[in-house]
């Protein structure tokens, strides 16, 4: 929890710094652009002010996505970060379209474009340096706190630096007499900005439709589960991402002859092993005694009797031998098509003072024979284990 709070604080700090830089740059570019007759610098100033808007959007979304699970959002608020990243990517695409459209209009009316003055060059250089610094700073923090939203915002800052480079080249080219250079370079940068926006949006949309994690990452997680002693196999392995966290759902196969408590203990060990990966946020696991991955598609799955049906059959068999014989514990070990039965009896089975007492092993053999001759000799019965004695 302390680590997550520290991550949120670091993310908020870098975003507020970026918002301040974008606000100041936006105002500076628009004002200088007006006095220097540079339409490109004015447009770039509007771009910086749009960055200010996205910075505020990031701060709001980070606050929401940082909340833990609640009644309305039992899985947490990680998808708010995903939605924010998708919106941010869409804004980049829209900005790229506006830049390209404006540049095409300028190419069509080159003769009417005013010649900008040198202050526009100075502001463009200052903007490139400032935006490159905030890009590197935001990207580093985004990777440290594992926030896709911060990384997306960092790339947004990089696009502003690229647009400022375009302004510099365009202003310098126009002042040198190459009137078309500004518009041509702006179109090239617009394509780059659109590509970044598309990549961010597409990645977020894949998260929102619960696309599985990369296969190499899934294989890594599977190998970690299999390494836990007592696990036979892992199947029905489902994965998805929510914000910066990965969510897993899996079936863990253990031996059919261990207790339920031991099976779940082994499952808990597997969870502890997986949670060593900091990017994993939540795990749901199911304990199996056989591979049931294709059981739902099986049109004629075996229908095995329940404990409520089996216990009366056991009692009937024992009553034929001796009405006083009753197991103190019955274990039913279910496999895919059969049930192994394990019966524990208190020793001795007969009163030692009873003169009719027979050999204990002989009595166990009689019980085994009675089971074989009864309904317990059916195909669904696997092995039958009989044992006597209590250690304590």
Q: For residue 327, what pLDDT is reported?
A: 84
Mean pLDDT calculated for residue range 327-352: 79
- Please tell me the distance from the alpha carbon of residue 52 to that of residue 22, in angstroms, as a whole number: 5
* pLDDT surpasses 60 at 390: no
Q: For residue 253, what pLDDT is reported?
A: 93
* pLDDT surpasses 50 at 355: no
Select the highest-mean-pLDDT range: 27-31, 173-177, 320-324: 27-31
Residues contacting residue 122 through CB under 8 Å, at least 6 positions apart: none
* pLDDT surpasses 70 at 21: yes
Q: pLDDT per residue over 232-270, tens digit each?
A: 999 989 988 876 678 899 999 999 888 889 999 999 999
Strands 280-288 and 339-345: unpaired
Element (H, E) at 61: helix 39-65
* pLDDT surpasses 80 at 32: yes
Q: Give the DSSP letter string of 222-285.
A: HHHHHTSTTEEEEEEEEEEEETTEEEEEEEEEE-TTS-HHHHHHHHHHHHHHHTTSTTEEEEEE
Exposure b/e, 38-53, CB count within 10 A at least 16 = b: bbbbbbbbbbbbbbbe
- Please tell me the distance from the alpha carbon of residue 99 to that of residue 110, in angstroms, as a whole number: 16
Q: For residue 389, what pLDDT is reported?
A: 62
Mean pLDDT of all residues belonging to the chain: 77
Q: Whole-angstrom distance between the N-terminal and C-terminal Cα of the chain?
A: 45
Select the highest-mean-pLDDT range: 102-116, 188-202, 343-357, 378-392: 188-202
Q: What sign results for the dihedral spanned by CA atoms 218, 219, 221, 226?
A: positive
Collapsed DSSP state (helix, strand, coil) of residue 384:
strand
Beta sheet of 231-242, edge-to-edge order:
231-242, 245-254, 280-288
Give the CA radius of gyration of the chain. 35
* pLDDT surpasses 70 at 2: no
- Please tell me the distance from the alpha carbon of residue 248 to that of residue 287, in angstroms, as a whole number: 14
Domains of the chain: 2-208 (1.20.1510.10), 215-288 (3.30.70.1350), 307-388 (3.30.70.1350)
pLDDT band, residue 58 (cuts 50/70/90): low
Contact 186, 100 (CB under 8 A): yes
Structure tokens at 123: 């502001």
* pLDDT surpasses 70 at 77: no
């Amino acid at each position: 929890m302390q680590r997550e709070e520290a991550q949120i604080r670091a993310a908020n700090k870098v975003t507020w710094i970026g918002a301040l830089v974008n606000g100041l740059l936006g105002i500076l570019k628009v004002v200088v652009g007006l006095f220097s007759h540079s339409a490109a610098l004015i447009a770039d100033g509007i771009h910086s002010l749009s960055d200010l808007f996205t910075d505020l959007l990031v701060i709001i979304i980070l606050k929401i996505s940082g909340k833990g699970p609640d009644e309305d959002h039992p899985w947490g608020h990680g998808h708010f970060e995903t939605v924010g990243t998708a919106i941010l990517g869409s804004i980049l695409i829209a900005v790229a379209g506006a830049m390209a459209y404006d540049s095409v209009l300028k190419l069509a009316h080159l003769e009417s474009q005013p010649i900008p003055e040198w202050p526009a060059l100075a502001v463009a250089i200052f903007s490139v340096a400032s935006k490159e610094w905030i890009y590197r700073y935001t990207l580093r923090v985004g990777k440290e706190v594992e926030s896709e939203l911060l990384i997306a915002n960092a790339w947004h800052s990089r696009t502003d630096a690229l647009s400022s480079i375009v302004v510099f080249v365009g202003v310098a080219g126009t002042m040198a007499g190459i009137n078309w250079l500004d518009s041509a370079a702006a179109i090239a940068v617009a394509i780059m900005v659109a590509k970044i926006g598309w990549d961010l949006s597409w990645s977020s949309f894949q998260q929102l439709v619960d696309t599985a994690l990369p296969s190499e990452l899934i294989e890594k997680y599977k190998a970690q589960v299999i390494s836990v002693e007592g696990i036979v196999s892992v199947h029905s392995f489902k994965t998805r991402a929510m914000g910066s966290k990965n969510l897993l759902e899996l079936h863990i196969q253990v031996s059919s002859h261990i207790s339920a408590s031991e099976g779940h203990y082994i499952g808990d060990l597997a969870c502890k092993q997986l949670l060593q990966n900091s990017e994993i946020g939540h795990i749901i696991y199911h304990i199996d005694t056989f591979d049931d991955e294709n059981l739902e598609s099986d049109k004629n799955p075996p229908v095995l009797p329940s404990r409520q049906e089996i216990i009366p059959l056991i009692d009937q068999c024992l009553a034929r031998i001796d009405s006083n014989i009753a197991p103190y514990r019955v274990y039913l070990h279910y496999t895919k098509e059969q049930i192994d039965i394990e019966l524990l009896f208190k020793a001795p089975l007969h009163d030692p003072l009873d003169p009719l007492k027979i050999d204990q092993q002989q009595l166990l053999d009689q019980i085994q024979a009675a089971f074989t001759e009864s309904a317990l000799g059916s195909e669904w019965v696997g092995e039958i284990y009989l044992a006597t004695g209590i250690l304590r």
